[in-house]
């Protein structure tokens, strides 16, 4: 096989590959997914509802631990589960491609609210570690990231949940 024949075959194979890829991309759409405004609003509202539920569950776990009705490991497991729910809510918002400026603004507000709830749940986990005698035992009150009491952790969660409720109302949720 001559050098010229190899070049022609390589060029033909390259062209066939380009045509195949272009056909596949055209069939599946290589542009960002587009949603209608109502779909985007529903997606934001759904993510915020998940975040609100996670925050409420975290609030219950902190309260139950403070009342001595559950153990530290149970409370920690509950909070860790809620962080996973919050990760899913954040992922739903970060992958959303808003179709208009209003949807983009709702997504931005939703991301901030989900982040606030995540921060509050992380802080609540720190309080649980302190309450349970974990490695952060000396950090309560000294470290601003660790709530000094259950009341402080619950207050942070309540503030974050208020922001989530406001964002959900703005997005047209219940």
The confidence score (pLDDT) of residue 16 equals: 45
Write down the pLDDT at residue 134. 72
- Residues 41 and 44: their CA atoms lie apart, in Å, by 5
pLDDT at 46: 95
- The pLDDT score that the predictor gives to residue 174 is 64
Listed as ranges, residues in the chain with pLDDT below 50 are 11-32
Residues comprising the chain, all counted: 174
Q: Note the pLDDT of residue 50.
A: 97
pLDDT of residue 93: 96
Domain locations along the chain = 1-31, 37-170
């Amino acid at each position: 096989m001559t050098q010229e024949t190899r070049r022609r075959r390589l060029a033909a194979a390259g062209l066939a590959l380009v045509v195949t890829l272009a056909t596949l991309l055209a069939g599946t759409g290589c542009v960002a997914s587009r949603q209608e405004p109502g779909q985007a609003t529903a997606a934001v509202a759904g993510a915020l509802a998940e975040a609100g539920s996670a925050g409420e569950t975290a609030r219950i776990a902190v309260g139950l631990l403070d009342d001595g009705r559950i153990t530290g490991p149970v409370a920690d497991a509950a909070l860790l589960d809620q962080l996973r729910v919050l990760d899913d809510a954040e992922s739903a918002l970060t992958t959303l491609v808003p179709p208009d400026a209003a949807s983009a603004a709702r997504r931005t507000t939703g991301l901030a609210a989900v982040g606030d709830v995540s921060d509050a749940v992380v802080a609540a986990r720190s309080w649980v570690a302190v309450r349970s005698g974990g490695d952060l035992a000396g950090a309560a009150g000294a470290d601003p990231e660790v709530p000094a009491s259950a009341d402080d952790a619950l207050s942070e969660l309540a503030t974050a949940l208020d922001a989530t409720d406001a964002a959900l109302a703005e997005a047209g949720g219940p």
